[in-house]
Amino acid sequence: MDRLPKSISSKWLLCLFSKRSSRKDQKVVKAVPQAPETVTSSSTVPSSTEQVEGKEENSLDAIYRDINRFDNVVAADYSDHHYINESNNSGQPPKSWTKKIQQEWKILQKGLPDSIFVRVYEERLDLMRAAIVGADETPYHDNLFFFDIFFPSNYPTSPPNVYFHSGGLRLNPNLYQDGKVCLSLLNTWNGSGSEMWRSKGKSSILQVLVSIQGLVLNSKPYFNEPGFEKSEGTPEGERRSIKYNENAFLLSCRTMVYMLERPPKNFEKIVSVHFQLRGIGILEACKAYLNGGQAGSLSVGDEGCSSEFKASLQLLVPKLCTAFTQIGLDCGQAYPVEEKAQMHDQL
């Protein structure tokens, strides 16, 4: 088991939103019982072949901003959802359960930051899927991380079940290869008081998602390991943290390739637009790390990245370029042909 930071309170939610979003309406609102309106944001996003040709970069950025962060998908195909075979065996759910799910939807509609996308399903109120964008200055920057969510029949007395699409990789102490999410707010790790799930409207799925983004996918995930936080700030602890960040970034890049090849259902266009917009920046970050930058940081260390990291990253960059090219991105902006050839020769 792994140590996990304290869950994010409502006060911290507001702080995070103010830092990560320029929208004026980013705030946590009181839940109301009305059902959320049905929206179909996916229809506003062009396909990967439509969105690059003949469009300026600013236009693509506008398309990305216009994608609804929350969407109730009608007649959706959710066959790849991890909890598709889970069911609330108590028959017709009580009205109080349905009302609570609708309250959660309303909170998400009005409170999601720009860096989190959520899709819910009209036919399965107990299922939800979320995509979280890795924050800047972390080894997870610019990537998309997907989580499947299931609301049990006794929700909110019990917390939701959350599964991480890991691709079989362990890129964070609190995100397991088997999809387990270790978070005190989900009662999957030790905690007390406000750190744990609280029913009666005090905890919400929005709080869970922002906690994962801010506390799990953070700039120094090494110190999430139990006991390792004691070494934070020491030369040896910081050295090990930098090494961990190097590996986390490599694994994050591998999940990018995997996600582009097999995007989760109902997120295909979001994945395409996201990486068309951020792919060049990701490749430029790779170049910076190969030239001495520290993985997941804007700073340059005395010795730069390790030789092992650079060798592994050189193997990954061509795979990233291939994946980005398949969605219509011109990787030559970051890696001209001559640089690609030189990199290939080095391999």
Contact between residue 238 and residue 39 where contact means Cβ atoms under 8 Å apart? no
Active site annotation includes 15: no
Rounded Cα distance between 179 and 76, Å, is 23
At 341, list the tokens: 């050839």
| Helix extents (H) in the chain | 10-20, 57-66, 95-111, 205-211, 235-261, 268-290, 307-325, 337-346
Can you read off the two tokens belonging to residue 219? 């700039």
Q: Which residues of 69-95 are buried (b: 16+ CB within 10 A; e: fewer)?
A: bbbbbeebebeebbbeebebeeeebee
Of 286, 279, 267, 287, the closest CA to residue 42 belongs to 267
CA torsion sign for 249, 250, 253, 259 is negative
Would you say 133 and 142 are in contact if contact means Cβ atoms under 8 Å apart?
A: yes
Q: Which backbone phi and psi does 21 adopt, to 5 degrees?
A: -145, 140
Largest pairwise CA distance in the chain: 65
Residue 159's SS3 state is coil
Catalytic entry in 15, 182, 305, 321: 182
Q: How far is CA 137 from CA 50, 77, 119, 198, 297, in A?
A: 31, 35, 27, 31, 5
Enumerate the active-site residues. Answer: 182
